[in-house]
Structure formats: C-alpha cells, structure tokens
Structure 1
Amino acid sequence: MDNQLDCAPGGYFSISESGFVQSVNRTFLNMLGIQSADELIGRHIETVMSPTNKIFFHTYFYPHIQLYQRVDEMYFSFRAADKQSVPVLVNGIKQERCGEAVIDCVALLMRKRLEYEKDTLRSKRQLEELYQTTREVNNRLEALHKEYENKQQELLEMNRSLETLASTDPLTGLHNRRFFEDCLRGELLASIDNNQPLSLLIVDIDHFKNINDTYGHPVGDFVLIELARLLRETAGPLSICARFGGEEFVVLLPAIDSEGACATAEQIRSVIENTPLGTHRVTISVGVETSRSGSTEQSLLERADLALYASKSNGRNRVSHAEELDKA
C-alpha cells in the first residue's frame, strides 16, 4: 500500500466477499487502536464489532452491497482495542480485482458526535466532583447540571436528525429513495413469507419540465411539495410513499392486489387532477405492478416503469398496470 493511501485522512480497509480483511491503512488501525496490520489482516471484519453491530452489518451492509454493488454513508460503529465504540460513516464499493470479488471501504469518524459525547462526559465528571463539595458551590452545581442536561438533549437531537436525514427527502418530507429501497426489500420478503401480494406504483408528473421552464424552480418546488402532500393523504395509512427522484414518486401498497392497486392509483390520479396546486393544475401518469411468483425488487421496479411508459405513450393522465402489457 503506498504511503499516501496509508496516511489518508479516512480509514481504509478491503475485505473479501465473505468478510475477511485483506488490507488496511494506518489511519484505520489508529481509529481502532491496533498497532500492526498483522493483527487484523486475515481475520473477519466482524472481530472488531460488537454483537449488535454484527447483526446490523448482516442485516443492512451485506444485502445492500450484494444488491447494489455499493453502500453510501451508512452509520455504523466499530469496537476499538480498548472496547470503546468508534462511530463512523462507512462508504463501500464491490469490485473485481485479480479475478476475485473484493469490497473496498472507507470509514470517516463522526467527529461532531464524538465532541458532544466528550462534552457530556466531561460535564458529568465535573458534576460528580462538585456534588462532594460544600453548600457554597450549590449554585455552580445547578448550572453545570443544567449544562449537562442540555448537552444530553443536543446529543439526542443530533442522533434523531441524523436518522431523519438518512431517510427523508429534504424538499417534500417524504421518504427518500434509499429508505424506499430498504422498505421494498423488506416488504417483498414479508409478502413472500405471508403469501400476500405487494403492489408498487410509480407516479410521474406530466409535463413537469414545462412548469420549471415557464414559472421557475420555486414554483416547481411548490408543486412537488403539494403533490407529495396529496399523495401521502390519498394513498392510505398503510402505504409507504417516497420521492424516487426529480418529479417521480413511488408508493408501496402491502397486501394490496392488482385490482386494489389500480383503484388506489386511479383515486390518487383523480384527486391530483382535480386539486389546484396554488394557481396551477397538474396531472400525473401512473405505472402499477403487483408481485407474482418469482418477482424481485428489480422486476417490480422495471415492470412498473414499463407500465408508466405505457401511460405516458397513451396520452398521459392515466393509470396502466403491467398486467395489461402482458395481455397486449
């Protein structure tokens, strides 16, 4: 490993497809308090994880890297040599090298979070010392106690913000694409286990580019926000709505068959067509797919997208189910 990568400001490690460490840089070893790379190379990466993080790694990291060949900004914690937790953001990419599949990862320390934790622990230690002193320092104790509570609250709020940012589209407030893809994976497995259907809607705003070009992006953003609100209100409490990208939205309908999915899609289409968004009226085209034997996440998305294309090709402002394409 060259010196530049070895001393890079981010931790680097490479693992085999089965999780065994092949190479690490000095930055990553320093993060974990490990003296020599020989202590880690050849061992499984899970040896530097707590039991909880091993479960998280199996549940999210492995499936995601296998399915999408990469992982972006996954919040995670390693366990250092002194048993302390080391919170990081992990980015990973799966690629082939010398004829073998390898997973290259970069780990960045969550510095702000660590600073808040250190401040909180420092305040707590000061409180413990001051509680043993005389009544003359009671006022100071109360002030520090308040500071400690505030820092704890700030830490909790930061954690909540990180979780929200990781799963929410900042413009519309709907779930983002990453969260939707995780839900799609879980709901498809549940539908198979429970022998129930799973339906997927892909919703696209008709002629949205004309709105942006004519009235500007602020108006376009307003239309997206209001349409997201109508989508959430109309799709039903058990649905999972997300912004898929640009003017495209997706809706997951667990335990809803093709007939019910088309009815829901038609209701959404009708509500949006008949509801003014400020001074504007928009229409949508919808593609629908319902799980069948052998359906995968990719096939559901691809067939719903084909159905959406059919709606667009047949005049827009309509609902098409992928089954109709099969019959045609």
Structure 2
Amino acid sequence: MDEQLNDAPCGFLTLSEDGIILSINQSLLTTLGYNLDELSGNQINSILTVPAQLFHQLYFVPLVKLENQVEEMHTTLQSSNGEEVPVMMNALPKKRQGKTEIDCVLIPMRKRNEYENELLIAKKEAEAALIAKHKMNVDLEEALKNLKHLNKQNQIYKINTKKELELARKIQVTSLTDPIVNQNIQIESFYEASNELSGDIYGFYQIDQHRYGIILLDVMGHGISSALITMSLHSLFQRLISKGVNTEDVMKELDNHLHSLFQTNEEAWHYCTAINLLIDTDKQTIEYINAGHPPAFLQDTNGKLHQLHSTTPPIGTFEGIQFKFNTFTYTKGSRLLLYTDGVTDPLDSEHLCTLLAENQFMSISKLKEKIIQSLNKQEHSYHKSDDQCFILVDLK
C-alpha cells in the first residue's frame, strides 16, 4: 500500500469475497489500536461489533452482490480495547488477477457532510475521467446536446409543477400529528423538508388512557418519489398504531407494504429506516424496534443517556426479516429524543447529547427551540441537503 493511501485521513481496507482482510491502511490500524499482523488475513468480523456482524451479513454482503457497490452504510467497528467506533462505509468491488476484491473506505461519523461532499466530488471526477477516456468526442458532444435538452425540459417542468408541489407539501404537513400534552406525557416535534417535499414522516398517537404509539421514518432519497412513499406508509401506520397493534406487527406490515410496492420494478426500489415505540405510562415501560435508524436517546432522571440502537436492517431491504422488539422500564421524569440523520449532519450525536445533558430540567418546548436554534446556526456554514425531523418526549 503506497504511503499516501496508508496515511490517508480515513480508513481503507480491502476484503476478499469471503470477508478476509487483504490489506488495511495505517490510519485505520491506529484508530482501532491494532498492528498489521494482528488483522491481516482475519475475517472482517474481528473488527465489527456483534450487531454490526449481523448487519454486515444481512445488508452489506447482499448489497455488494446486487448493486455492485455500497454507499453510506452506517456500521460500528470495535477497537482492540473494546471501544465502539461508528463509521460510514463506502465499498466497491474490483477484479484483480481474476479474483474479486472489495475496496472499502471508512469515514468517522463526525462532520459527515464534509466528508460525503469530498467523496461525491471524487466519484464525479472519476466518472468524468472514465467518460473522457472511453468516449469519442462525437459521443460527448451528443451527450451535451441531450443534457441541454433535458435541462430545458426540466425548467419547463419546474414552472408547470410549482403549484402542484406546493399543494402536495401542504397535504404532507397537514398529515403530521399535533403535540400531545397531559398529566402523563408530553410529546413535541419538529419537521422541515430540504426541498418542497420530504422523505421523513412521523406520527404519535394516544391509543388508550395509558398507551401511546410513536413512529419516525426516513425513506431513502428526497423529493416526490420519497414523499409519495411516506404518504403511502403514513396511512398504513396511522391505522395500525391507532388500533394498538404491537410494534412487531406494525413493522412487519410496513415491510410487506414496501416489498409489494416494488416487487415488479427493482429500479423504483426504496427502503426506509424506522423506529417504532409503544409507551405504557401505567406500567412505565417502553417497547421499541429500531430498523436501521439512528439510535434514539433516553435520558433518565439522573441525567444518564441510554441509546436505543438499531435491532434490524431497514424495512424494505430483505424479505422475511424478523422484527423483534426490546422492552425496558423507565422512571417518571425521563426524556426521549428521536431524530433523523438530517439532524445529525449539522449537529453530530455528541452535540445532541450535550444539549440534553446541559438542559435536563428545561421544558421540552424550550429545549425544542434550543435544538432548532443550533440547527439554524450550523446552516450558515453548512449546505442543508437532507430533511430534518426530531421528536421530544417527556415521561411525567
């Protein structure tokens, strides 16, 4: 491995088709606290946490084979001293000497957007270089003509559909649930689309005197296609959760619905991360399933933060996923924060933890405004490219 790649400010490793580590750069070795001899020739599982090992087999391996690449996969590495290291992974298989090898770039989650933009720029430059190398000038000129034509059509489309998009946005916002405030619980939310329409959707419902259902979903992508899927899912989970259907069956129905939408059109395939909670204020229990979604935070009365990590792959990825819920008890005075990754792009998870810790006794209405102010402040130096949504819950 050359010196520049070996000391790059990100992790790099090459895997065999069987998941054997063929090479690994010094930057990643330093991050994990290993020597090259300790990892070379070992299975990738040797540096993955137990949940990440399962996620690797269920999500990473099939994606490499089906899509011939992996983009923006969240996983967790484990260092030599047992510390968890959250990373975002991009991977690309390559044929070398008749064998398939998988090159992987691993980027720490902090300042994710800056790194993502750098990767996207590098990817576009590589694609442009390949086009310049393999295409004749005549083909390039024809492509430019087609691009101009498409741009012209796109401008006409934007003008003709502006009113329709605004109406669709109003319908989408109207479908969102209002805050819930009573003697047992208070639920507040924030929602802002990056464009006219959003791929984020949520709902929270009082099922009976003591039970409340909360769900937060993030459909891949943005814009019209994602918004249509969110509205389709919304009508389904609103009916199920309002009737008190358990979290397992809710997630199974949503998963089946996504598979039924795209079973005859793989090109239109979308998946969705989701977290679904059932809160019983009488028993003081929380039942939850996290399907590939960023971990929610539970702040107990002592101020300690607990994370509700992902328990299954995102819905709509693989058929036959078993959705198993986790249940735990809470003490009155605890607080929950659920969010989509559009919030942790400008504000990393550590910043959210700090906001919760420093404002434990602040009302969630004021805490909500404080988080929004932090998001707005960051956006002066950050180009927002994702929908933003979070839910705050006070368990009285």
Higher relative contact order (CA 8 A, sep 6+): 2
Higher fraction of strand: 2
Larger Rg: 1
TM-score (norm 2): 0.35
Higher fraction of helix: 1
TM-score (norm 1): 0.42
